[in-house]
Amino acid sequence: MAFTSEFPPVYVTVDVVVLTLRDDALHVLMVERGSKPWQGRLALPGGFVQQQEDLLAAARRELREETGLAVQPAHLEQLGTFGRPDRDPRARTVAVAHLAVLPALPEPVAGTDAAAASWQPVAEVLDAELPFDHHDILAAGVERARSKLEYTPLATAFVGPTFTIADLRHVYETVWGRRLDPGNFHRKVVGSPGFVERAPGERSGSRGRPAAVYRAGPATLLNPPLWRGEPAPTPTGRHRP
Amino acid sequence: MAFTSEFPPVYVTVDVVVLTLRDDALHVLMVERGSKPWQGRLALPGGFVQQQEDLLAAARRELREETGLAVQPAHLEQLGTFGRPDRDPRARTVAVAHLAVLPALPEPVAGTDAAAASWQPVAEVLDAELPFDHHDILAAGVERARSKLEYTPLATAFVGPTFTIADLRHVYETVWGRRLDPGNFHRKVVGSPGFVERAPGERSGSRGRPAAVYRAGPATLLNPPLWRGEPAPTPTGRHRP
DNA sequence: CAAATAGTGTCTTTCAGACAATATTGT
DNA sequence: ACAATATTGTCTGAAAGACACTATTTG
């Protein structure tokens, strides 16, 4: 092949921003770096793309290896590619970043060789210094999740296979950092075609009337979107005590 | 550096979907391939990323080299990365695709070593067989442009530095393939904060009242979006003779 | 029963879209 | 004057958000 000798090869990695909800806060999966640059620091999980491996498949593999869990993420998509020439001091690397969303796991992280992995609150991680350009990547992932809540059923990826409308509302409230009106939210979600569908049974919280149980519907796009415009900080009336 | 010998390097290219409006139709910049695979066929412009070159900068360089024009595109963004292991029979390559939008150029394409470049109607190109995964890339670019018209001022990138509201409307109508009400469109655009601002002068078409001239405003996001939901094929009433 | 949560009803305001009306120009 | 286009006005229906109200459950 002609160009093999003419052009500089590049090391392509796949990094994954894995988001979930724990303790009413957005968390991200981080691993402790074991090797040279930034050794011992928390970084996004990721690794080199293997020959004959698709990018999405590589992201899935990294996720599986790093979490030790055979979870198939409820959501996995390509986020963007980061390739500043100086992003890795060792060599020219290009990182294809992905976004994964999981429901809260009973055991945080533990498994094969994933002892170094842990869930960290996004807010704290974004305040700290991160290796390479992982700060940009994480910020892009969070922003993507925020905006996709609006016009896709992404929220269902944060909860289990069945959930209540209040569960969904907590996802929106946590990721958007904004309190939503329970009544209007309920109407909006149930009325959005294909967003959710009834599942058998009810679910009781600690107190209050038990809630109907739903599962994710077939829709891939919310039409119309749940809320347009920006999450405004409470327009006119009261709301929030 | 340790991993140099341990992991397979990859050839990273930057491909560019360059869109513009010509003769009331969406056109894309295509180049005739001169080398081995798919030789002589039309393909998206692109090339290898150079060492020490940022991805966006590489896209800008390719655009400049291929068009021969020193245009700074009104819009240039990363579109997505395509890396199916079998996408190039010669070697493992990963293409970082970009989307560029230009106003219609007086001279289609001509310049340094860009004799092979030409503008092609998007509809026709999407009907033909394209090299590598360029069909997917082009489709992604067109789709990105379509959706970004809705919530960003991308339409201004299709027209010159100054334009009339009707010019903008033609962009929407062409890219969306849908007729829009001139009155409602005018109100919407002028009322969208930061989308457009008045420029001095007026402009006369062949007949009819001359139109006010505008330039792009400072907004980067349209809030609220111009139209939510999907471009529906004329809902209720009449419209279109 | 009181507190808490689920779910429904209602009202007001805003806005999108259809379409009429007015303003200006070239032929 | 007529045709064509720009721009503004008007009206109607749908939807968003605020908030009252009803339905059920636990303590």
Domain ranges of chain B: 2-147, 152-216
Mean pLDDT for chain A overall:
88
pLDDT score at A239: 29
Distance from CA of B205 to the nearest CA of A (A): 35
Q: Work out the percent of chain B whose per-residue pLDDT is above 70.
A: 86
Residue A26 phi/psi, 5-degree rounding, is -75, 130
Q: How many CB pairs under 8 A join A and B?
A: 101
pLDDT score at B34: 84
Helix, coil or strand: residue A169: helix
Binary contact (B81, A96; C-beta < 8 A): yes
SS3 labels along B36-61: CCCCCCEECCEEECCCCCCHHHHHHH
| Cβ(B87)–Cβ(B133) below 8 Å | yes
pLDDT score at A101: 96
Distance from CA of A171 to the nearest CA of B (A): 23
Picking from A55, A79, A136 by the largest number of B CB atoms within 10 A of its own CB, the best residue to mutate is A55
pLDDT score at B232: 37
pLDDT score at A227: 78
DSSP-assigned beta bridge partners for residue A16: A98
pLDDT score at B1: 45
Q: What is the CA A149 to C1' C20 distance in angstroms?
A: 41
Per-range mean pLDDT, top range of A105-119, B27-41, B103-117: B27-41
Cα–Cα distance, B202 to B212 (Å, whole number):
5
Which among B7, B78, B223 is the nearest to A11, CB-wise? B7
Binary contact (A11, B11; C-beta < 8 A): no
Q: B151-155 long-range CB contacts below 8 Å, 24 or more apart? A: B151/B221, B151/B222, B151/B223, B151/B225, B151/B226, B152/B220, B152/B221, B152/B222, B153/B194, B153/B195, B153/B196, B153/B216, B153/B217, B153/B219, B153/B220, B153/B222, B154/B75, B154/B101
A31 Cβ neighbours under 8 A, 6+ residues apart = A42, A43, A44, A45, A66, A114, A116, A117, A118
Contacts of B229 in chain A (CB under 8 A): 223-224
Q: Which residue is nearest to nucleotide D17 (CA to C1')?
A: A184
At residue A148, does pLDDT exceed 50?
yes
Q: What is the mean pLDDT of residues A219-232?
A: 73
Cα–Cα distance, A148 to A155 (Å, whole number):
9
Q: What is the mean pLDDT of residues A222-236?
A: 58
pLDDT score at B6: 66
DSSP A101-162: E-PPPSS-S-SSS-TTEEEEEHHHHHHS--STTHHHHHHHHHHHHHHHHHHSTTHHHHS-SE
At residue B37, does pLDDT exceed 80?
yes
Nucleotides of C under 7 A from a protein CB: 3-9, 16-21, 23-27
At residue A232, does pLDDT exceed 50?
no
Contacts of A80 in chain B (CB under 8 A): 78, 80-81
Q: What is the CA A19 to C1' C2 distance in angstroms?
A: 39
Establish whether the CB of A36 is closer than 7 Å to any nucleic acid atom in strand D: no
DSSP letter assigned to residue A2? G
Q: Which residue is nearest to nucleotide D22 (CA to C1')?
A: A209
Contacts of A51 in chain B (CB under 8 A): 8, 85, 92
Q: A2-141, superfamily in CATH? A: Nucleoside Triphosphate Pyrophosphohydrolase (3.90.79.10)
Q: What is the mean pLDDT of residues A194-217?
A: 95
Fold of B2-147: Nucleoside Triphosphate Pyrophosphohydrolase (3.90.79)
| Cβ(A95)–Cβ(A138) below 8 Å | no
Helix, coil or strand: residue B169: helix
Distance from CA of A158 to the nearest CA of B (A): 24
CATH of domain B152-216: 1.10.10.10
Span A69-80, pLDDT tens digits: 666 778 999 999
Span B2-17, pLDDT tens digits: 455 566 789 999 999 9
DSSP-assigned beta bridge partners for residue A43: A31
Nearest to B43 by CA among B130, B161, B112: B130
Which among B11, B96, B223 is the nearest to A81, CB-wise? B96
pLDDT category, B36, cuts 50, 70, 90?
confident
Distance from CA of B208 to the nearest CA of A (A): 36
At residue A87, does pLDDT exceed 80?
yes
Cα–Cα distance, B69 to B87 (Å, whole number):
30
Nearest to A165 by CA among A194, A218, A203, A207: A203
Q: What is the mean pLDDT of residues A97-122?
A: 79
Span A184-194, pLDDT tens digits: 999 999 999 99
Fold of A151-216: Arc Repressor Mutant, subunit A (1.10.10)
Which among A51, A80, A229 is the nearest to B8, CB-wise? A51
What type of residue sits at position B223?
N
Taken as a whole, chain A contains a residue count of 241
